[in-house]
Structure 1
């Protein structure tokens, strides 16, 4: 892994574990094992520039993970189950949302318009991934878009609750509820 990638990956992990505001440059240097000079070579504007890179990196990983899981089957229940299983496995292994959530970064970047816009774009992309999958099941574009946002919102909440409780039950419950909702919508249309 390159020094630049090590910095981004380490920072993203720390931001997701502790929050953006609780992590300093020293923490990032320690976690990435990169010399201070290298950090400022790649990120001359310091922490803010690292935050931007970390949000982009987490967003890319998150969208890739979600898209990959949603493509595992043409059947909604199977692909959504695979998505939830990946989240549960990550939580059980690390008790951290890893590359499954942006929540903590979103909450701590609301006052910065550029950072908040980056998070906004990622949430829209995620909602659109769900909507695209739902459209493949013959759900109208308008309804699929609404459901995509509902799914994204519920998953973020379930992930945060699962982390707080150190228990995957909220994710498993939301899997059942969302799958039932999608089945109901399909049967009604």
Structure 2
């Protein structure tokens, strides 16, 4: 792995664990054993540019994971249930779901930085597109599919945040129990 990729990987983990404000460049340099010159060679605009690269990498990883799950299951209900169950397993094993949420970073930076806000927004748009496309296959109208995709994204982000703050996977379990019923009811209308 090249130095730039290593910087992104290490920084992603640190930003996910401690948030943007909680991680200084000195810590990133120390953990990765990088020189300051190397960091500024790859990220001339410093920490915020590094954060944006991390967000783009996280977005790609998350989108690939979600697409993979949604391609393996024939319906939105089955795909969403499988995705949420995987998040619960990750939470139970690791005590966190850091790889699947931007919430902490967004709450710190979105009002301060349009480039960071845009990087986060792009991920949510990609997620909603995956959900919406699957809902279209399930027979939902385009308008309903887009609306439900927004609700699914917001619910999932909220459930993840609740899991992290409450230190339990129960909010995700509630989603697994309730979301299929909501989608089924919407399909019947």
TM-score range, shorter chain: over 0.9
2:167 matches 1:166: yes
CA distance in 2 between counterparts of 1:5 and 1:89 reads 27
Structure 1 match to 2:24:
24
Runs of 4+ in 1 over 6 A off after TM superposition: none
SS of residue paired to 2:72: coil
2:77 touches 2:180 (CA, 8 Å); kept in 1? yes
2:77 touches 2:179 (CA, 8 Å); kept in 1? no
User: Larger relative contact order (C-alpha < 8 A, sep ≥ 6)?
Assistant: 2
CA distance in 1 between counterparts of 2:157 and 2:147 reads 16
The root-mean-square deviation of aligned C-alpha atoms, in Å, is 1.4
Structure 1 match to 2:122:
121
1:90 touches 1:98 (CA, 8 Å); kept in 2? no
Alignment of 1:148-159 (within 5 A): 148-159=149-160
CA distance in 1 between counterparts of 2:72 and 2:31 reads 34
1:98-156 CA-partner distances (Å, limit 9, x unpaired): 32111111111222112112211211111111111111101011100000000000000
Alignment of 1:88-167 (within 5 A): 88-110=88-110, 111-167=112-168
State TM-score, norm by structure 1: 0.93
Give 1:93 deviation, angstroms. Answer: 2.5
1:62 touches 1:101 (CA, 8 Å); kept in 2? no
Give 1:24 deviation, angstroms. Answer: 0.5
Q: Could you list the runs of 5+ residues in structure 2 that have no partner in the other structure?
A: none
State TM-score, norm by structure 2: 0.93
Q: Could you list the runs of 5+ residues in structure 1 that have no partner in the other structure?
A: none
Structure 2 match to 1:184:
185
Structure 2 match to 1:58:
58
1:16 touches 1:97 (CA, 8 Å); kept in 2? no
